Structure formats: structure tokens, C-alpha cells
């Protein structure tokens, strides 16, 4: 569902405490949600259709915001027009700041059971087969896990 919602093979979200968002997403007139599961909802912009968020009512204090929903200045920094130059390829405008590098390397992965071999199975960090409440975290690849013999 995350891949379909984001249109990306590698959807990435950042969890935020709901109380830290100001203004609240629900107060924005174009922010709409739909129930995507028994306890989950997904937020989107009703004007352009952009996917924005994921919320699981099992974790009421957190909301996940799609990294792609952040403004370009947050991800790649402010344009530094006074340092721009032109060449055969066009006009280059350098950027200063931005959090894209830091935000682009997840610390954990959920739904690792749906890993794509050779693409998403090599990520670092803790992994959960389904969600953070469904079992314990592990490292490595799902395909390399051995079946326990009890």
C-alpha cells in the first residue's frame, strides 16, 4: 500500500509527534484523509492529489509525513542566486542548506517482508517484518533468515 500510495519503489516517511505540528494538518482546508485500513489513514492534498501522510491509530502520538511532501528548500536548501553561473548545459544555481541527505537515510524499516531483492533488502538499520508492534526488530535480509526448529 505504501508503494502504491507514494508511487515509489522506496517510499520514505518521517515520524513526528502530532503535538509538534503547527498548524495541525486537519486544520488545513485542502488536507483530506481516507481510511486505508482498519486502524490506518492516509492524508493527501485535495487540490493536487499529492500524498502527504500516514497515521496508525495504534500509535496515536505519531504521524508519518512523506519526505517528498517537504518543500524543496527543506530538502535541498535555499538558492544562492549571487553564486549562479552559466555554461553549455544551462544556468547553475547552487544551494545552501537542506536536510535531504540526513532525511534520506532511514534508521529503521517496516514491512521488510515486502523487500525487493537487490533493491530494498540491503538497507542498514533495524527492520520489522510487518510493523513495529509485530515481533522484534532484526538486521540483515529476510531471505537469509532461518526457520526456527522448535
Q: How confident is the model at residue 150 (pLDDT cuts 50, 70, 90)?
A: low
pLDDT reading at 42 higher than 80: yes
Reference 113, options 148, 141, 147, 132; nearest CA is 141
Task: Say if strands 108-109 and 126-127 run parallel, antiparallel, or are unpaired.
Answer: parallel
pLDDT reading at 59 higher than 90: no
Distance CA 143, CA 139 (A): 12
CB of 70 within 8 A of CB of 77?
A: no
∠ CA 134-138-141, nearest 5°, is 110
Q: What is the pLDDT of residues 75-130, one digit of tens each?
A: 999 999 999 999 999 999 999 999 988 887 777 777 778 888 888 777 788 888 88
The answer to whether residues 19 and 51 belong to one domain is yes
The answer to whether residues 120 and 98 belong to one domain is no
CB of 96 within 8 A of CB of 75?
A: no
What CATH number corresponds to the domain at position 41?
2.170.150.70
Burial string for 132-143 (b: 16+ CB within 10 Å, else e) reads: eeeeeeeeeeee
The answer to whether residues 134 and 115 belong to one domain is yes
Amino acid at each position: 500500500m505504501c508503494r502504491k500510495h507514494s508511487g515509489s519503489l522506496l517510499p520514505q516517511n518521517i515520524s513526528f509527534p502530532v503535538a509538534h505540528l503547527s498548524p495541525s494538518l486537519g486544520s488545513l482546508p485542502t488536507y483530506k484523509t481516507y481510511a486505508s485500513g482498519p486502524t490506518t489513514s492516509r492524508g493527501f492534498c485535495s487540490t493536487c492529489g499529492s500524498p502527504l501522510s500516514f497515521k496508525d491509530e495504534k500509535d496515536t502520538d505519531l504521524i508519518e509525513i512523506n519526505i517528498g511532501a517537504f518543500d524543496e528548500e527543506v530538502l535541498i536548501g535555499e538558492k544562492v542566486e549571487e553564486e549562479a553561473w552559466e555554461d553549455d548545459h544551462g544556468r547553475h544555481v547552487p544551494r545552501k542548506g537542506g536536510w535531504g541527505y540526513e532525511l534520506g537515510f532511514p534508521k529503521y524499516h517496516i514491512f521488510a517482508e515486502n523487500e525487493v531483492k537487490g533493491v530494498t533488502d540491503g538497507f542498514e538499520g533495524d527492520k520489522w517484518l510487518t510493523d513495529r508492534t509485530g515481533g522484534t526488530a532484526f538486521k540483515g535480509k529476510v531471505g537469509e533468515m532461518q526457520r526456527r526448529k522448535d
